[in-house]
Amino acid sequence: MSQVMLRDSANETPRQAPLRFVRKLAPFVGLFGLACLLPLTDNAYFGLIIGRAAVYWVLVSGLNLVVGFAGQIAIGWGVALLALGAYVTSVLTAGTAFAPVSPYLALAAAGVIGAIASVIIGLPALRLRAFYFAVTTIGFATIVTQIAMAWQSVTGGGIGVVGPTFGGVFSTTWGFYYFCLAAAALCTWLSANIGSSRFGRALLAIRDAEVAAEASGISKPVMLTLIFLFAGAVGGVSGGLFASLQTYITPDAFTIDLSILFFIAILIGGRGSIIGPLFSTVLLTLLPEVAAPLAAWATFLYAALLLAIVLLVPGGFANLFDFKSRKPLETGRIIRPNEEILPGLLSAAKARGPIDIENVVLSFGGVRAIDGLSLAITPGEVHGLIGPNGSGKTTVLNAISGYYRPDSGTVRLHGAALPSGAPQTRAGIGIARTFQNPRIVGEASVLANVMIGGTVLGKSTFIETVLSLGRYRREERELRERAMLALAAVGLERLADVRTDRLQHSELRFLEIARALMLDPAFLLLDEPAAGLAGDEIQLLGALITAISRTGVGVLLIEHHTDLVFDICEQVTVLNLGRTLAKGTPAEIMAHQDVIDAYLGG
């Protein structure tokens, strides 16, 4: 029954699913199909250019995950890995440092060393932001080329070193061309597997909504380390292929212009896309050949193309292939939550005890945002937290969520103290939350945003994901079905495939609740979920929150709409200047004179 409902909710028949897959696959098949037919022209020079584009894409397929998905500005990263892989492969096959080895073994070694070096390059990304990290990657690229220049006995210095030659069927021009094309196709498949998985969605969340990513249990250091390993491995391999394609390499082959080419390919291809950067990598490789008389203007041409794409096709080439986002959405959309779905989505009796906040004190400089607060969030109960602006309500929620470390006092779950400063640990123990301002990935679909909330539910390893093994595919189906249930519960199932940045504000509020429900939480922390909602939407929200609590979920509700708080909460705590002004039932709070004077008025 649930699967039938999911199909109906997504407006997709069993026959439409394969068609959707074919539509996604068609651009890739078209590009690689044309490339496979190229040898029929017997144009060896053009084959060399397309072969170089395939080698560049092997590198960009990994760099795209670092830049386009994870949002790390790694300008010099690509050329550094290309140079490192090229020299490792060439040195090992030439025997200038050790006894010569097979070019295939050397290529594998380049991948391993590239993966290790990539993590070393990427470590500053865990501490540095934006252009500071970009500078470190440019510095690393300079270090690699300077070592190659200075280590003359091994690398040949400025004279260079002979690139590897692959034997057998790959020793011919077209044989090696197909080898490069096969490597590009393999890397496309591998990177697409990552991009469409919980790992890819986690990278998008880190890029656009890092705080929400942490609340969903996503560890930025772990995710970036895994992606740097993969991207470094394919980057090292691309360097080995590049060395063989060039036949002879020198430090002059690895210029800042080449690094800019890789970076721009991702920018004009489109963030969070695979087909866009693939298309732009081919285009930018062909551009200098088509405009050979303007070779001196290569950097200018790249910049002009980037500007034109930004102005004419916002979002890059990926938008050209995104036909769904150009379809107009129906106006006057109404949110219709379906509370009957909640018992099938949320398991009962999941919490053994309350969240206890005991005498918590938290200061910012000389200001006490929380001053000796104590309260309990009980399973199956809605607890309201109200007070004037600046009274410390969101600070309390952030202390529970692990974003802030209290100066004193404790936050306990089932009697055990929760670690401070570790927000990514909360999802794993059943604590979900929403935010005062919706934190979403605008360029991803509504369904993908909700599936981000279930990241910690996936148990398949990174290797299983990269290779698209059985457990990974099964988990993806289960996550998708669960996300559709969550969307149906909040009334957004018909918008599952819509880009999230096209939603109305009220829909984003309910979307965040759907993402939180993916966890099957024991406790749900809501930070002003009714802000910006119309009166009838607030009533629907109140009914939804009440239904959630009836499944056994403990709810902490921060809200300025006091009518909503007094209608649905069993207990209410009032804060003023970080201190508890009053606590009790809604009736007791409404009659409390200090609360009336400080907050309610009248």
Contacts of 169 by beta carbon, 8 Å cutoff, 6+ apart: 175
Q: Where are the alpha helices (DSSP H) in 369-421?
A: 393-401
**Predicted confidence band at 6 (pLDDT cuts at 50, 70, 90)?**
very low
What pLDDT, on the 0 to 100 scale, is given for residue 305? 72
Residue 483 has pLDDT above 80, yes or no: yes
Residue 526 has pLDDT above 60, yes or no: yes
Among 148-152, 323-327, 497-501, which is the least confidently predicted range?
A: 323-327
What pLDDT, on the 0 to 100 scale, is given for residue 366? 81
- From CA 122, how far away is CA 137, in angstroms rounded? 8
- Here the tokens at position 200 are 């890819």
- From CA 131, how far away is CA 502, in angstroms rounded? 30
- From CA 82, how far away is CA 258, in angstroms rounded? 10
What pLDDT, on the 0 to 100 scale, is given for residue 602? 56
3-state percent breakdown (helix, strand, coil) of the chain, nearest 5: 60, 10, 25
**Predicted confidence band at 3 (pLDDT cuts at 50, 70, 90)?**
very low
Residue 210 has pLDDT above 70, yes or no: yes
Q: What is the CA radius of gyration of the chain?
A: 28
What pLDDT, on the 0 to 100 scale, is given for residue 419? 87
**Cα dist. 457→25, 198, 448, 515, 568 in Å?**
28, 10, 14, 13, 30
Residue 294 has pLDDT above 70, yes or no: no
Q: List where CATH 3.40.50.300 sits in the chain.
A: 346-444+503-600
598 DSSP assignment: I
Please give the average per-residue pLDDT across 378-393, as a whole number: 92
What pLDDT, on the 0 to 100 scale, is given for residue 160? 87
How far apart, in Å, do the first and last CA atoms of the chain sit?
Answer: 52
Residue-averaged pLDDT of the chain:
88
- From CA 350, how far away is CA 346, in angstroms rounded? 9
Please give the average per-residue pLDDT across 516-544, as a whole number: 94
What pLDDT, on the 0 to 100 scale, is given for residue 13? 47
**Predicted confidence band at 10 (pLDDT cuts at 50, 70, 90)?**
very low
What pLDDT, on the 0 to 100 scale, is given for residue 600? 76
**Predicted confidence band at 293 (pLDDT cuts at 50, 70, 90)?**
low
Residue 207 has pLDDT above 60, yes or no: yes
- From CA 308, how far away is CA 314, in angstroms rounded? 9
Name the more confident of 124 and 461. Answer: 461
The CATH fold assigned to 346-444+503-600 is: Rossmann fold (3.40.50)
Residue 155 has pLDDT above 70, yes or no: yes
Contacts of 589 by beta carbon, 8 Å cutoff, 6+ apart: 566, 572, 574, 582, 583, 595
468 Rama class: left (phi>0) / alpha (psi -120 to 50) / beta:
left
**Predicted confidence band at 5 (pLDDT cuts at 50, 70, 90)?**
very low
- From CA 145, how far away is CA 150, in angstroms rounded? 9
Helix or strand (DSSP H, E) at 266:
helix 256-269
The string of pLDDT tens digits covering residues 409-458 is: 999 998 889 988 889 999 999 999 999 999 999 989 999 999 999 999 99
What pLDDT, on the 0 to 100 scale, is given for residue 313? 76
- From CA 553, how far away is CA 548, in angstroms rounded? 6
**Predicted confidence band at 20 (pLDDT cuts at 50, 70, 90)?**
low
Please give the average per-residue pLDDT across 534-560, as a whole number: 95
What pLDDT, on the 0 to 100 scale, is given for residue 185? 95
**Cα dist. 531→395, 506, 508, 561 in Å?**
18, 9, 11, 8
- Here the tokens at position 369 are 């945002």
**Predicted confidence band at 30 (pLDDT cuts at 50, 70, 90)?**
confident
Strand order through the sheet with 571-576: 431-433, 523-527, 554-558, 382-386, 571-576, 579-584
Which residue type occupies 457? L
**Predicted confidence band at 9 (pLDDT cuts at 50, 70, 90)?**
very low
- Here the tokens at position 125 are 């990304």
Please give the average per-residue pLDDT across 570-594, as a whole number: 91
407 DSSP assignment: S
Residue 28 has pLDDT above 80, yes or no: yes
